[in-house]
Amino acid sequence: MKRRRPRLPPTRPLGRIASHFTKEGTPKKAYRTEREARSAAQLAWTLEKLELNSYRCDHCHDWHIGRSSRFE
């Protein structure tokens, strides 16, 4: 039986693709529609009081959710 090499955690790439990874280095969830992303953001608010926004990714053209990038 062939042994598989252990899967390494994803590394955080440089450049525009870095938007696909969280601060912890895990891949962000991609949603196919804005409605799915907004529903996930609403669920995060309901369960954990996290205020997240949905946005269309310029790289993959799917939808992601994340914290606002505004400085307050």
pTM (2 decimals)?
A: 0.64
Nearest Cα residue to 24 out of 14, 36, 12: 12
Looking up tokens 């042994």 gives 3
Instruction: Note the pLDDT tens digit of each residue in 10-41.
Output: 555 555 566 677 778 788 889 999 999 999 99
The secondary element (H helix, E strand) that includes residue 44 is helix 34-48
Nearest Cα residue to 70 out of 59, 57, 55, 60: 55
Instruction: Name all contacts of 7-12 with Cβ < 8 Å and 24+ positions apart.
Output: none
> Once rounded to an integer, what is the mean pLDDT over residues 38-63?
91
Spans of all domains in the chain = 26-66
What pLDDT is recorded for position 2?
65
